[in-house]
Amino acid sequence: MAIESYNPYTGRVLRRFRAFSWAKTERILAQAHRAAAEWRTTSFAHRARLMHRAAALLRERQDELARLMALEMGKPIADGRAEVLKCALTCDYYAEHAEQFLADEEIKTEAQRSFIAHEPIGVVLAVMPWNFPFWQVVRFAAPALMAGNVGLLKHASNVPQCALALEQVLHDAGFPPATFRTLLIGSDLVGRLIEDDRVRAVTLTGSESAGAEVAATAGRAIKKTVLELGGSDAFVVLADADVALAAKTAAQARMINAGQSCIAAKRFIVEKPIIREFIAQMKTHLLALRTGDPLEETTQFGPLARPDLADELTQQVEDSVRQGAKVELYGGQSKPGTALFRPMMLSNVKPGQRAYSEELFGPVALILEAQDADDAIRLANDSRFGLGAAIWTKSAQRGEELARRIEAGAVFVNSLVKSSPEMPFGGVKKSGYGRELSHLGIKEFVNQKSIWVGGEAPVAKKKVE
C-alpha cells in the first residue's frame, strides 16, 4: 500500500511513501512502550526546556511548514503560518503551566494526609485529520508529552510530509525519538494498535463514523478515548445585532480553511426582520474573497483538500436544492473531479433536507430564518451536533443568558468561534466527548490517583504502678 502526498491545486502527486508493515509498526510501539517507562520519570523542568525549544523551532520553520500545508492540502500560505505560530504558542503554554496543572491536589479527609496525584499512563495513540495538519496534532502532543506520556501519531494519509515534519521538529528539539513517532499506516492497522495492551488511550479528531469505530474498538479493549468529531455550528444573529459586523464575521467564519473546519460556522440562524439585509451583506463579503494558488500571499481561500470531497459537497448541495433549498449565491465546482469549490449560500433550509441535518464540510453557508430569539435557540439545538456556536446581539447580558441554553461545547457572544490553549475544546452529542486544551485537556490522559496516608500507630501507654 502507498501513502500519497497529493497537491489539490495542481492535481499532481508530490511524493509516495510505502506504508509501514505491522512488523515495523509493532517495533515502533515496543520502543515507545519502553520509552514511556523512562520518560515518566523526567522532571517538568526538563520536559519544559524541550517543549520551549520545539516552540522556537516551529517559529523558525514556519515558512517551510506553511509551504507543506499549501502543497499537501491547499491551505493558503498565510493561514499556514498562522497555524504554525498557534502551535508554538500552545507548546509554550503547556511548558509553562503543565507542572501547575498536574500538581498534587490536597483533599481534606480523616487521613493524616490525602491527595490526588496526576500520573502519566503511557502510550497515547492519536488518529488525526488533514484539515489542520499541525494544530490538530500539537493540541494533543504538547499536553501529552508534558504530562509524561509518549505519543504515536496516525495522521491522515494525504498529509504524510506534514506528519513527518512535526516528528522532526520534536526530535530536533531534543525529545527522545521514541517518545513521539509518526506511523505511516493505513486505517487497517489502527484497530490492532488499539487492541494492543501497550497502547493505553486513544484520541481522535475526525468524522462521526471514524469516531464510532475507534470508540467501539477502544471500548472492547477497555481504553479511554477522547473524540472531537463533526460540527454544524450555529451562528445566531438576533434582530438587535450589529448586522454589518455580524455579516462580515459570518463570511470569515464560514470560510475558515475553505470551510473545512469542524468549528467553522455553518448554519446562520437569523431573525426574520434582518434576514434579507444579512444575506445581502454576507454575500458581498463572500464574493470579495480571493482564491488562487495557495502558495501566493494574496490567496484567501484555496481548493478543498481532495476532489472527492468537493464532489461529495456538490452532491449534498444538489440534493438539498431538489428537496427545497434555495440558492442565494451560486458557486461550487466548475466541473466534477476538481477540488476548487467557490462559496455558496442556501436559504429556505428546512427539516428533511440534507443541508438541514448533515455537516457540509466546505464553503456552503446555510441560512435559516428564526421568528424570535426562542425560535433561534430551538433551531440551533435542532442538530445532532454540538461543537461550537455564536450569538450576535447588542446586549452582552442577553447573549450570555442565551449562550447557556445552547447545546454546545463552546459558545461565543459577538465573536468568532475559535480554539485557544487557555480554554477547553470539545463537543457534546454527536460532536464527541472529552476535552482538549486548557487544564482539562492535560488531565484527560493521566491516572488521577488517590493517595491516602494514615496516621502512625498509637504508642502504648506505660502502666503506672
Cite the active site residues: 228, 262
SS3 assignment, position 57: helix
The string over 85-103, giving b where at least 16 C-beta atoms fall within 10 Å of a residue's C-beta and e elsewhere, is: ebbbbbbbbbbebbeebbe
Residue 309: CA atoms inside 13 Å, Cβ hemisphere, count? Answer: 23
Q: How far apart are CA 133 and CA 125, in angstroms?
A: 16
Amino acid at residue number 175: F
Residue 119: partners with Cβ closer than 8 Å, 6 or more residues away: 40, 148, 446, 447, 449
Say how far apart CA 300 and CA 291 lie, in whole Å: 6
SS3 374: helix
Q: Please say whether the beta carbons of 149 and 120 come within 8 A.
A: yes
Grid cell digits, residue 108: 481534606
SS3 state of residue 201: strand
What lies within 8 Å, CB to CB, of 73 at 6+ separation is 8, 130, 131, 133, 158, 159, 162, 305
- Cβ atoms of residues 439 and 103 within 8 Å: no
Q: How far apart are CA 306 and CA 224, in angstroms?
A: 32
Q: Which of 267, 260, 284 is nearest to 390 (CA)?
A: 267
